Amino acid sequence: MPSAALPDQATLPIFRILLVVQVLAAGFFGLLPFLLPDTFASGAGFVGDEPFIYRLAGAATLGYAAVALIGSVRPAWYRLRIPLLATLTFNAAAVIGALLSLASGEMQFVVFFVAIAAFAFTVLAGYWLARNQGLPDPAPEPVEPWFRVVIAVATLAATFFGLAPLVAAGEFASLAGFSTNDQFIYHLAGAATLGYAVAGAASLLARSRAQIGLQVRAATVFNGLSAVAAVIYLINGGRAPVAWLILVAATAFTAVFVLWMAGAGRAVRA
């Protein structure tokens, strides 16, 4: 349980600076591969055979930028705890992914940079999660049972699409019908997605809508942009069947998340 003995740590200037840094870092590593995957790939020294995977990695990363940006406007620890758990998971997994890439011979500068930066973010996120100081939700509204089912399904999907490309990038790419080049971007996409899986598991244990509201917004950004990425891939002649699965699932999750956020007017504050 969070300690309320000291001021809410989410309102501290140093914590808000961390949110700003997350907005900038996740914004850069989200927007560039999503909007300009070929440019990002060539600039980072990769082949860039699969712009779709770059866009999916960007979509997942932009969710972290969005949640930090929204959370910085009205910071409260009970709203930011689950998103920070997602950030911790993403960055810890990104360190693992970078090390796997280095072990496989991907020696580009960005791989080293991500390994170091993600390690730093892991330490910082772990510190604030361990500190755990803030007031509880002052007006808790219970999470609807039907929405917990949605979270459970989304969590299972995120677990698979997080772990598979993270720990078995080559096999995942081959089975899905994608190029096995640039395994680092598969690792990065998997790491980002795994953060949503862990946040989903934590959301199943949450007691109020406000505790999961920010993370639902992050997941909405991720799924909405993933659907856009799938449409672009298919319009450009992409043939991998998994793209259709991602399009349908991401569109459905986006619609349900938006409906949930729009329901019960006062709960929009979540």
The answer to whether 32 and 24 have CB atoms below 8 angstroms apart is no
Quote the pTM value.
0.94
Shortest CA distance to 187 belongs to which of 98, 80, 74?
A: 98
Shortest CA distance to 18 belongs to which of 118, 94, 124, 90?
A: 124
First to last CA, the chain: 19
φ/ψ of 3, rounded to 5, equals -90, 130
For residue 209, the number of C-alpha atoms closer than 13 Å in the C-beta half-sphere is 20
Alpha-carbon gap, residue 46 to 174, rounded angstroms = 18
DSSP label of 47:
-
**Contact residues for 191 (Cβ-Cβ < 8 A; gap 6+):** 90, 91, 93, 94, 96, 97, 118, 162, 166
Q: How many CB atoms lie within 10 A of CB 248?
A: 12
Alpha-carbon gap, residue 258 to 55, rounded angstroms = 22
- 270 residues of the chain, pLDDT tens digit each: 555 557 899 999 999 999 999 999 999 999 999 999 999 999 999 999 999 999 999 999 999 999 999 999 989 999 999 999 999 999 999 999 999 999 999 999 999 999 999 999 999 999 999 999 999 999 899 999 999 999 999 999 999 999 999 999 999 999 999 999 999 999 999 999 999 999 999 999 999 999 999 999 999 999 999 999 999 999 999 999 999 999 999 999 999 999 999 984 344 344
